[in-house]
Structure 1
Amino acid sequence: MLYFFQQVLNGLHSGALYALLAFGYVLTNGILHRTNLAYGALFAFCGHTMILTAAFGYQVLWLTLFASVALGVAAAFLYAALLSRVLSRSIFEPLADRSPNAIVVTTLGILLALSEASRIAADTHDLWLPPMLAQPIIFAQGANFNATLTLIQLLDCAVVAATIGLAAWAFAQSSFGRRWRAVSDDPRAAAMCGVDVRAVLRRAVLFGGLCAALAGVLAAFYYGNISFGTGLVYGLKILFVTAVGGYLSPLRAALGAAAFGMAESLWAGYFPLEWRDGWMYLFLVAMLVLIGTGRDQGKIA
């Protein structure tokens, strides 16, 4: 029983990262209704940028570890804001009314460009942060086994829960949330009612990019490293999870992604790890087929 409880605790952390990514992904795709393959790359690029900048600050600028990490976090969010601006103004706006494949192909190219930029910047080496806040917190004790989470895992979960909770509340109460729902439902009707569709899209892409940056930073804190190829794996998982859950509610997508992270953790604890991703993708594809492609055509209440 303690072993099962440990897998549940592990799933809380992985589920939190997936939930934050899904929340940010739906902010953009709820308006575009197009597949954005660059989102996972943005997550990995920001996490990798944080590590590279922290290493530069510590080894070259002779900053303290705390100052180096703070510099890395600032650089990650600045890059996220810059890339979000480029994506919204130079890619999503011009291609929004064209073939859906246009955005798919373009964001695939961006994914490859960001991955290669990270690889070249790191000289094809993996840089690692030192372990931080790795003290175990015991939740349950047994004769030979303790169910624990590290302090950094608990802080990551708390930050994600606070971020999603605050964002969901603001989304439900703010004028931006109302405009987002109007544009997501029918952008032409929203424009006829005076909603600035482009401004809503730009803010949504910015907020989504900041969610990706925060997830990348938190993942880097815990794992110590984010490889330049990680973005494709995370991006595909978030793509399938949000496709199953729908693009009408960021909060619902986040809850579905958290459940997916929990399922991954339970699989890793009881079944062969090398088959985990394959079976998880198969499950998501089966759910997508069963739910059907016409689900998101319903109007937002």
Structure 2
Amino acid sequence: MGYFLQLLASGLHVGALFALLAYAYVLVHGLTGRTDLSYGAVFAFSGQSFILATGFGWSVLWLTLPVALSFAALVTLAACMLLAVVVARYIYQPLAQAPRTSMLVASLGFALFLVELSRLSAESRDYWLPPILSSPVHVLGPTVPVTLTQLQAIEIAAVAIIIGLYQFALEKTAAGRIWRSVSDDPLAAAFCGIDCAFVRTASLLASYALVALTGFLAALHYGSINFSTGLIFSLKILFVTVVGGFRSPLHAAFGAMAVGMIDVFWKGYFSLLWSDAAVFVLLVFLLVVRKPPEPARM
């Protein structure tokens, strides 16, 4: 029983990272209905940028580790915001009325650009962060052997708070009502005077902020991020959102958390080698048996 509870606690942390990335993805896909293959690359880019900027602050600027981490977070967030503006201006806006496959090709090209940019910036080397807040925390008390590190506990709480704030904004604010109106019927929203292009750009900014945060948290936990990890995260999130629908970021987040927990349980009880294959088989099965949702419109 203790082993099961330990896997459950670890699954909550991995699921939280999946949930944050899925929420970010549906923030944009709920408006456009276009499949964007670059989210995994942006996630990996933010993680690698965070690690490189931390190393620069530590070794070149002679900052203390907490200040170097804060400096790296600001630099990476600014870089992701710049990427969001560029993507909105040069990919989403020109392809607003183009066939859906155009976004697949453009986002894949953008992802390859980020891969090469990060590889050249890191000189094809892997950089690692030192262990941070690695002391164990007894989740169920000192008598039950279920622990998380301090960092894992903080990250789970941070993800819950951030998603709660975003969801509150979507449900209770004017910005959220505008987002829902454009998601439901962009033509009617435009007739009501809503600038749909501006809404897409604002959603991309909010989405990329979440992706940057996911990259921070993953880099702090794993110590290093590569693009193969980003690709796996991205594909799982894409399957989750296809299964769960594209209109509700919160539903996508819950589904992604469940996938992350299933992934951890498989690795705990079965072969580590087949964990990704097992998760994808499950998602494909759910995709086959589920009635496809009505696609969103650009």
Determine if the alignment matches structure 1 residue 204 to structure 2 residue 203.
yes
Residue in 2 that maps onto 1:248 = 247
Task: Please identify runs of 4+ aligned residues in structure 1 that moved more than 6 A.
Answer: none
Where in structure 2 are the equivalents of 1:30-179 lying within 5 Å?
30-140=30-140, 146-179=145-178
C-alpha deviation, 1:228, in angstroms: 3.6
C-alpha deviation, 1:288, in angstroms: 1.1
Please report the TM-score for the alignment, with normalisation by the length of structure 1.
0.95
Residue in 1 that maps onto 2:222 = 223
Compared with structure 1, are the counterparts of its residues 190 and 138 closer, same or farther at alpha carbon in structure 2 (3 Å cutoff)?
same
Q: How many residues align?
A: 297
- Same amino acid, percent of matched pairs: 45
Q: SS at the partner of 2:146?
A: strand
Asked if the contact 1:19–1:257 (Cα under 8 Å) also holds between the matched residues in 2, the reply is yes
C-alpha deviation, 1:298, in angstroms: 9.3
Asked if the contact 1:85–1:202 (Cα under 8 Å) also holds between the matched residues in 2, the reply is yes
C-alpha deviation, 1:139, in angstroms: 2.7
C-alpha deviation, 1:193, in angstroms: 1.5
Determine if the alignment matches structure 1 residue 276 to structure 2 residue 275.
yes
Which amino acid in the other structure matches residue 278 of structure 1? A
C-alpha deviation, 1:146, in angstroms: 2.1
Asked if the contact 2:247–2:296 (Cα under 8 Å) also holds between the matched residues in 1, the reply is no
Residue in 1 that maps onto 2:262 = 263
In structure 1, C-alpha distance between the alignment counterparts of 2:178 and 2:21, rounded to whole Å: 22
Residue in 2 that maps onto 1:296 = 294
Which amino acid in the other structure matches residue 5 of structure 1? L
Please give the root-mean-square deviation of Cα atoms over the aligned residues, in Å: 1.6
Gaps of 5+ in 1: none
C-alpha deviation, 1:289, in angstroms: 1.5
In structure 2, C-alpha distance between the alignment counterparts of 1:234 and 1:127, rounded to whole Å: 20
Asked if the contact 1:2–1:140 (Cα under 8 Å) also holds between the matched residues in 2, the reply is no
C-alpha deviation, 1:140, in angstroms: 4.5
Please report the TM-score for the alignment, with normalisation by the length of structure 2.
0.96
Gaps of 5+ in 2: none
